[in-house]
């Protein structure tokens, strides 16, 4: 691990003002950052510890939305009573991820920025455009079983591994970012970027930006919410394919639907294609299968993950079945 200077920020403004170049990293839970620093994938010159800047509460705002501080721990967020009752897909997604120890350490902001688990990204001996632009993608011709079938490019096929992000995408969360030029709100769909030919740029953040809050819109009390995660092990394993569903059914028809996919995309994958094939349609298996086909129509399987196309379709179909069956 490279040596760094370590400072503690006392508030968000100080943190932002101190982070003046690209070799500075904020550290909160540290579960991704320290993992990567031990592998020399991350080599910051300065760590700014943001664990004491506050931003660790969950508050219901007057307009009904729920504002989550970036420093709220994943375990606290998953067990929060309002999240469990009104945004259950988020609680389900969080509890499906990592281990209890990691959920106690990881923060909302950190999970949002979690890095890919691609083995080539994590190995400094292997060419990787995301880690070192211009060196090539080892995964396309290599071991890509767990990597993306949606949103990939000729330069990068790395999957976004977060479960929380998939649920936040289906919930249409908004990310508040504080930077040197002020504060701005970014819808989560715009927050993470496709790799294209710049896979080293994963989000809209620039050096010095600090995620301060994630805000969920006012709850939909009639919605059924499901997070279904399919993977090699029953627990403590990343998704091969996952689906977050927020659905409302009335008179047997789907009157509201949001679907996001995990484990298959280079970013958390909102599926407008599936939603278009579900809205105002009967909530039955034929509809679900048609929508699943639509969701994966643009999929490009890699050499070792073609199974994900069918797996993702069945994941969507099963998640929709679970979400729409009567309580």
Question: Is position 14 an interface residue for another protein (rule: CB under 8 A)?
Answer: no
277-285 contacts: CB < 8 A, separation 24 or more?
278/247, 278/254, 278/320, 279/254, 279/255, 280/253, 280/254, 280/255, 281/253, 281/254, 282/252, 282/253, 282/254, 283/247, 283/249, 283/252, 283/253, 283/254, 283/320, 283/324, 285/317, 285/321
| Secondary-structure breakdown of the chain: helix, strand, coil percentages, each rounded to the nearest 5 | 30, 25, 50
Nearer to another protein, 75 or 305 (CB): 75
Closest approach, Cβ 103 to another protein, in A, equals 9
Q: What is the Cα–Cα distance from 90 to 78, expressed in whole angstroms?
A: 7
Contacts of 82 (CB under 8 A, 6+ apart): 58, 60, 66
Nearer to another protein, 74 or 153 (CB): 74
Question: Is position 23 an interface residue for another protein (rule: CB under 8 A)?
Answer: no
Question: Is position 3 an interface residue for another protein (rule: CB under 8 A)?
Answer: yes
Question: Is position 204 an interface residue for another protein (rule: CB under 8 A)?
Answer: no
Question: Is position 236 an interface residue for another protein (rule: CB under 8 A)?
Answer: yes
Question: Is position 276 an interface residue for another protein (rule: CB under 8 A)?
Answer: no
Question: Is position 34 an interface residue for another protein (rule: CB under 8 A)?
Answer: yes
Nearer to another protein, 101 or 135 (CB): 101
Question: Is position 5 an interface residue for another protein (rule: CB under 8 A)?
Answer: yes
Question: Is position 98 an interface residue for another protein (rule: CB under 8 A)?
Answer: yes
Size of the site for another protein (CB under 8 A): 28
Question: Is position 105 an interface residue for another protein (rule: CB under 8 A)?
Answer: yes
The residues binding another protein (CB under 8 A) are 1, 3-6, 27, 29-31, 34-35, 37-38, 47, 49, 51, 75, 79, 98-102, 104-105, 234-236
């Amino acid at each position: 691990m490279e040596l760094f200077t370590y400072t503690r920020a006392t508030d968000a403004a100080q943190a932002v003002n101190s982070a003046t170049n690209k070799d500075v990293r904020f550290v909160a839970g540290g579960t991704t950052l320290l993992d990567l620093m031990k592998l020399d994938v991350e080599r910051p010159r300065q760590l700014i510890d943001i664990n004491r800047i506050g931003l660790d509460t969950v508050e219901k705002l007057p307009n009904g939305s729920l504002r989550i501080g970036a420093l709220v721990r994943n375990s606290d967020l998953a067990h929060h009573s309002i999240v469990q009752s009104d945004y259950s897909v988020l609680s389900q997604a969080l509890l499906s991820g990592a281990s209890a120890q990691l959920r106690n350490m990881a923060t909302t902001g950190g999970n949002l920025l979690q890095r890919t688990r691609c083995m080539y990204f994590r190995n400094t001996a292997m060419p990787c455009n995301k880690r070192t632009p211009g060196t090539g993608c080892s995964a396309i011709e290599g071991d890509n079983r767990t990597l993306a079938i949606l949103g990939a490019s000729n330069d990068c096929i790395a999957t976004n591994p977060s479960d929380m992000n998939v649920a936040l995408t289906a919930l249409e969360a908004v990310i508040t970012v504080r930077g040197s030029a002020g504060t701005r709100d970014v819808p989560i769909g715009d927050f993470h970027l496709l790799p294209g030919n710049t896979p080293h740029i994963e989000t809209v953040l620039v050096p010095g930006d600090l995620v301060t809050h994630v805000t969920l819109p006012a709850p939909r009390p009639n919605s059924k919410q499901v997070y279904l995660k399919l993977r090699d092990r029953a627990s403590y394993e990343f998704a091969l394919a996952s689906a977050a569903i927020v659905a409302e059914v009335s008179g047997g028809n789907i009157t509201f639907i949001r679907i996001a996919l995990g484990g298959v995309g280079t970013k958390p994958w909102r599926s407008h294609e599936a939603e278009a094939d579900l809205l105002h349609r009967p909530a039955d298996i034929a509809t679900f299968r048609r929508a699943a086909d639509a969701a994966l129509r643009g999929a490009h399987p890699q050499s070792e993950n073609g199974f994900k196309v069918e797996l993702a379709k069945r994941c969507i179909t099963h998640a929709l079945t679970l979400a729409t069956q009567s309580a």
